[in-house]
Amino acid sequence: MLDHPAYGVDEIAAHCGLTAVRVHDHLEELSQLALVRASAEHPGQLRAVSPDIGPADILTRQKAELVARHAQLAASRAAVTRMVADRAEHRTTHGERLLGMDAIHARLERMGHSAATEALGSQPGNQRPEDLLASRVTDAEALSRGIAVRTLYQDSTRNQPHVTTYAHWLLSQGGEVRTAATIPQRMVIIDRSQALVPIDPADNRKGALYVTEPGILAALIDLFEQAWNTAVPLGATHPEDPRTGLTTTERELLRLLGSGLTDDAAGQRLGFSSRTVGRHMSSIMERLGASSRFEAGIKAAHKGWL
């Protein structure tokens, strides 16, 4: 349509080797995307929107939607953390407190064995080799039965060889793995009917809460799906924002520090050491031409980065 603006439906169909019905369907989709508009020169026909306008508008909308999803994810994460903490205060017919890693691993084995359709996992922070080793048998058994396995890791784990080895093994067995700068608290959800979450998100070795209560499960599933939809498949790279030159991790770091978190607190959320946080900030300050973090904050705000 850009090359032949005078073409009508019949001409487009002939040129593209499509039926007129298919062309009408495609034109309706292009219209919904605001990539075609009514022609003033040829009544009853559509004209293609210039490629430097139409796609740019789509990207702008997608960026706005992504920012909104990240905000929703942060709010959901806080709500779920509060809910789990409240439920951990006492045992009910819909939950059980598990103390000690042996009890947790035993419960995970039973959950994996009972899985019928799906296993979802969110694994923030550093992963211990022995914990991955304990998970491998359960994951292998589930994958061999055709269970859909989806796992979330933090971007920082891409620098941990034993985690990337395990993640690539999951992929080779038919599982799906994605990473993001920040992900929800540690959780395992089986068949959307049972879940295991830490009693203390800051220290999963203190114990876990086994949950079957529908209300909590619905919140955990929603939280996982929000994070999954904003994560990047393992093996793909996080593209830089063409407007700022920042990676996803750098944008998230600026957001966390801008909200008042210390280097240690921001690093804990991202799975980084405070030294790594300092390295990222030094790189950002250099790009901004700032000699201090205060100056960097002002310049970042003026550029619309914050």
Q: Tell me which of 240 and 49 has the higher pLDDT.
A: 49
Task: Tell me the CA distances in angstroms from 186 to 189, 199, 224, 228, one per residue in order.
Answer: 10, 10, 10, 14
- Specify the pLDDT at position 240: 47
Can you name the CATH fold of 57-233? Endonuclease; Chain A (3.30.870)
Q: Packing angle between helix 101-114 and helix 129-144, nearest 10 degrees?
A: 20
Q: Which one is predicted more confidently, 174 or 91?
A: 174
Smallest Cα–Cα separation from 124: which of 192, 183, 197, 47?
Answer: 183
Q: Does domain 248-302 have CATH number 1.10.10.10?
A: yes
Q: Residue ranges per domain, the chain?
A: 9-49, 57-233, 248-302
Q: pLDDT tens-digit profile of 236-268?
A: 544 445 555 677 777 777 777 777 778 777 777
212, 264 in Cβ contact below 8 A? no
The structure tokens listed for 79 are 């709500």
Pairing of strands 194-198, 232-233: unpaired
- Residue 112 pLDDT > 80: yes
**Predicted model pTM:** 0.51
